Structure 1
Amino acid sequence: MSPVAETSSKASADAKIRNVVENLAKINQRLGEADPREILEWAIDNLPGLYQTTAFGLTGCVTLDLISRISSDRAAKSGEAPKHLVPLIFIDTLYHFPQTIDLANQAAKHYGAPMHVYRPPGTSTVNEFEAKWGTSFWEKDEETYDYLVKVEPARRAYEELGVRAVFTGRRRSQGADRASLNAVEVDETGLIKINPLMNWSFAQVDEYVKANGVPYNELLDMGYKSVGDWHSTALPGSGDAGERSGRWKDKAGKTECGLHKDYFKFKLVAEKKLREAELARKDEAKDKVEQAQDGQQPTQQDVAPVAA
């Protein structure tokens, strides 16, 4: 694309986004009781730079299936070859269950959906992550962990891919902060978030999956209700009735991982802690050098990874 065409394309995209932001209340009034397909089609028609961010929870899988059907219907109507209209972004935290990774690859292939995978900065394996930040980092500083494995990779994906709007898998029936969702939201960074299945209950999502043969995480058949990282996901107890029961079970009051919190505040706190951790590591390295020069042997505690 020539510089002139690129500038024109960006100006057109900016104008579309600005129009949505300026008319947000009217749009949400119109889509307030809309079914998922209507919300999806509105977004496809009106939002440039549109992607689906998903960890392949049940709602995300239904959204993916519906987008595939819309894509096929539109291709058939125009006489063109089918093309999945909304690319995927999958944040691989490195601590997903193997079943989740398998599902991500299976679903992307099944629907012919382009999938962009992002991981924590500077790491692509658990060993690399733990060499840098130590083992069980989520136990030492869970919020900074969330920033490293989810928030930063997501923001990097949005910037590198030119993302202006994303589909999410949030629904009102999930409760907590999600109970008052609108169809279309604009976050503090200007990113537009669309919640196409906001009006559906878990029963409706589950019914759609079964009726349409949608690929889903096999852990749900084992009793799990909401699947995240393996260390923050547990089987619900007998008294756990909520749709997200089993997530952060030992973290009283936690309902979100950071992706739907104020990005700038979250980043500010996390980066401060990361700087402090880096200084601590440098001090530790300096102490080791001094000990070696003095003929001292570092203890096991001295060589343990330092986390934020």
Structure 2
Amino acid sequence: MADTHSETSSQLSSPGDHGSVDSGFVSPNASTVSLPRISLTQPHIKHLNKQLENLHPMDILRFCKIFFPNLYQSTAFGLTGLVTVDMLSKLDAESGTPQPIDLIFLDTLYHFKETYELVDRVRERYNVKVHVFKPADVDDVAQFEALYGEKLYDMSAELYDWIAKVEPLQRAYLDLKVAAVLTGRRRSQGGQRGDISVIELDDERGVIKINPLANWSFGQVKAYIDENKVPYNALLDRGYKSVGDWHSTVPVGEGEDERAGRWKGQDKTECGIHNKQSRYAQLLEQAALQQQQQTA
């Protein structure tokens, strides 16, 4: 899997050095002024969502490619994200002047081997650039566990989410100067996603989030995958409908929600990158403020 990691973007200093936190909130010791923010008022966002709500995802993507600068797609290569990748490739083909949207992939180091294999297949099929971001200062599980111990995901789920997912995503936004990002979230996935809009302002992270398939069902997504022969994770055929880290993902039972296999038995439905500021992030913020006061 060397190729999967060959385009890993450069990493900043460790989390403790620059004060980034779980939700994307940045402490007084850091700055997000380099982010090319897009100024949209809430009434403007409401108007855009009203216009986009009933459009086909392809039309939503057409609009987004024109309207949003520094547009990227953040994906864990789930079915919805794969549909988006395929649709974007079709838009490039019809335009005659391809302007591909780069992908952002958070390599937690704990993905299934089938996921890493899929990353390579997608890169080859669509000739798309994949920016891979790992936990800061580590390259593999051995290094990660040497720093944080074994099974951090069980010992401190919030700390794990921040180190493995949220901080790398915040770093990706900063390094790539992301202004807007396409996600694979859909309302039919349930949980906190049940009432998402097509366009959202993530004011904590300083980016616009776009959910082009927000109103599609799992059946619609799977039908598109099949009809267009889009490569997908081999785990789907083994009962997985949503795939994350191997330590927190199990097959979905008959009649269960699509994401029921994620963090099964735990009181959570999101890993942190789509949540507001976590308790761990708040502690980091408080520590940074205390340190600033002591040195003032």
Fold agreement, TM-score > 0.5: yes
Relative contact order higher in (CA < 8 Å, ≥ 6 apart): 2
Aligned counterparts of 1:230 and 1:19: Cα–Cα separation in 2: 38
Q: Does 1:69 align with 2:90?
A: yes
Q: Which residue of 1 aligns with 2:257?
A: 242
Structure 1 SS opposite 2:72? strand
1:268 Cα deviation from its structure 2 partner: 3.1
2:273 is aligned to 259
**What is the correspondence of 1:16-31 to structure 2 with a 5 Å cutoff?**
17-19=38-40, 23-31=44-52
2:104 to 76, 89, 97: 89
Among 165, 181, 186, which residue is 2:201 paired with?
186
2:211 paired residue number: 195
Match of 1:156 among 162, 171, 174: 171
User: Could you list the runs of 5+ residues in structure 1 that have no partner in the other structure?
Assistant: 1-9, 274-308
Out of 204, 209, 223, the residue aligned to residue 225 of structure 2 is 209
Higher helix share: 1
Larger Rg: 1
TM-score by length of 1: 0.78
What residue ranges of structure 2 are gaps of 5+ in the alignment? 1-32, 288-296
Residue 74 of structure 2, aligned match among 45, 53, 68: 53
Alpha-carbon distance in structure 2 between the residues aligned to 1:177 and 1:30? 23
Q: Secondary structure at the match of 1:23?
A: helix
Which of the numbers 124, 129, 132 marks the counterpart of 1:114? Answer: 129
RMSD: 2.2
Q: Please state if 1:169 is matched with 2:175.
A: no
The CA distance in 2 between the partners of 1:32 and 1:210, in whole Å, is 25
> What percentage of residue pairs aligned between the two structures are identical?
45
Pair 255,118 (structure 1): closer, same or farther in 2 beyond 3 Å: same
8 Å contact from structure 2 (residues 158, 278) kept in 1 = no
Q: Secondary structure of 2:265's partner?
A: coil
Provide the C-alpha distance between the structure 2 equivalents of 1:74 and 1:59, rounded to a whole number of angstroms: 23
- Structure 1 equivalent of residue 144 of structure 2: 129
Cα distance in structure 2, aligned partners of 1:110 and 1:207: 19
Question: Residue 101 of structure 1 corresponds to which residue in structure 2?
Answer: 116
Matched, 1:42 2:63: yes
Matches of 1:270 and 1:219 in 2, distance apart? 37
What is the alpha-carbon distance in structure 1 between the residues aligned to residue 278 and residue 257 of structure 2? 30
Given that 1:258 and 1:266 are in contact with CA atoms closer than 8 Å, whether structure 2 keeps it comes out as: no
- Measure the CA separation in 1 of the matches of 2:140 and 2:125: 26
- Is 2:282 the counterpart of 1:268? yes
Deviations 1:87-112 (A, max 9, x none): 00000000000000110121022101
TM-score scaled by structure 2?
A: 0.81
Q: Aligned pair in 2 of structure 1 residues 232, 203: CA closer, same or farther (>3 Å)?
A: same
